[in-house]
Amino acid sequence: MEDTKLKVNIDDKLYLNTYNVDTLSHLAIKNQKICETCNEKTCTFICPARVYECKDGHVTVGYEGCLECGACRIACSHDNIDWNFPRGGFGIQFRLA
């Protein structure tokens, strides 16, 4: 019997999720000066939702698409990300199928 494996497209799975976006961000850069001197800018590539973007050394946060995994907070070697869960009723709603 042949071993068959399903390949799942991550973009297709992410498309199933829905968001109830709050007007208040649950993510913030604590000190933009630290980001400007950071060589790694780990937050810009560790986030699976690509929430962080760096333009001219300035890091911006697009919290609306956050997957709430906390990877950014853990990966930031400068502890410069203020990360909280969104307020009750807001944020991502995962759909598995």
Does 37 reside within a domain?
A: yes
Does 66 reside within a domain?
A: yes
Residue 62's CATH number: 3.30.70.20
Whole-number CA gyration radius for the chain = 16
What range defines the domain where residue 51 resides? Answer: 26-86
Residue 1 has pLDDT above 60, yes or no: no
The more confident residue out of 5 and 27 is: 27
Q: Are 80 and 29 in contact (CB under 8 A)?
A: yes
Does 50 reside within a domain?
A: yes
Does 3 reside within a domain?
A: no
Does 95 reside within a domain?
A: no
Looking at the structure of the chain, the number of domains it has is 1
Chain segment 23-78, per-residue pLDDT in tens: 999 999 999 999 999 999 999 999 999 999 999 889 999 999 999 999 999 999 99
Does 49 reside within a domain?
A: yes
